[in-house]
Amino acid sequence: MDEHIERVLIDTQEIKTIVARLGDEITAHYRALETFDLIVVGLLRGSFVFAADLVRVINLPLIMDFMTVSSYGDETASTGNVKVVMDLDESIEGKDVLMVEDIIDTGNTFAKVLRLMHHRRPRTLKICTFLNKPSRRLVDVPIDFCGRTIEDEFVCGYGLDFAQRYRNLPYVGVLSREVLEG
């Protein structure tokens, strides 16, 4: 599998450092509020690895929920045609919602998801993304907690896929040109 990876962009140790820092930032943010009722929402499938690591370094009471949205486009770019495939189990009304995403690229997917979430009237809504590709942004997305900004390269691993594969790599790598171009 690793033969398809051209280069490691973020190794396992760096991932750990990033996640620990985010955990501290998030913990401090909610602690500073007078009261909070935290619900962490992971967007599937991409955020499952990151969300699992992240909640273990958030030192606060919280509940966890997941949502699957499908975003139509080709294998490496979304179009903003977002459909909820699996909705949340929990009501988020009046709750402090922390959305967890693997990567924000064009912003198309997340902008739609955010609008949907706002309609459900959470008390607060914050966004945490492991990776951010600002150079590709088409729609503005307010990011509250960001793991790392990366260049315009297609990456895989640590939950991120190419055609559903490579999610289980324990690092973030740049996929080789041969794989990307088929």
Closest separation between CB of residue 34 and ligand IMP, Å?
33
Catalytic residue among 24, 89, 105, 161: 105
CA distances to 31, 121, 174 from 105, rounded to whole Å, are 30, 26, 15
CA distances to 5, 31, 60, 93 from 24, rounded to whole Å, are 31, 10, 11, 26
- Pick one of 39, 102, 113, 171: the residue that binds ligand IMP (CB under 6 A): 102
Instruction: Report the C-alpha gap between 24 and 92 in whole angstroms.
Output: 24
Residues 6+ positions from 23 with CB-CB distance below 8 Å: 54, 56, 57, 58, 59
Instruction: Report the C-alpha gap between 109 and 71 in whole angstroms.
Output: 6
Q: With CB cut-offs between 5 and 8 Å by kind, which of Mg ion, ligand IMP, none does residue 98 bind?
A: none
- In the bound state with ligand IMP, the residue whose beta carbon lies nearer, of 59 and 149, is 149
Dihedral, CA of residue 105, residue 78, residue 49 and residue 119, to nearest 10: 90
- Asked whether position 155 contacts ligand IMP by CB under 6 A, the answer is yes
Question: Which x/- pattern, by CB under 6 A, does the window 69-88 give for ligand IMP?
Answer: --x------x----------
Scanning 5-13, 16-24, 55-63, 150-158 for contacts with ligand IMP by CB under 6 A, the matching segment is 150-158
Whether 105 sits among the annotated catalytic residues: the reply is yes
Could you say which DSSP state residue 174 is in? E
- Asked whether position 157 contacts ligand IMP by CB under 6 A, the answer is no
Scanning 9-17, 20-28, 57-65, 95-103 for contacts with ligand IMP by CB under 6 A, the matching segment is 95-103
CA distances to 80, 100, 103, 176 from 64, rounded to whole Å, are 26, 10, 19, 35
- Pick one of 106, 147, 171, 173: the residue that binds ligand IMP (CB under 6 A): 106
Range 11-70, binding ligand IMP (CB under 6 A) = 46
Residue positions annotated with a catalytic role: 105
Binding residues (CB under 5 A) for Mg ion: these are 46
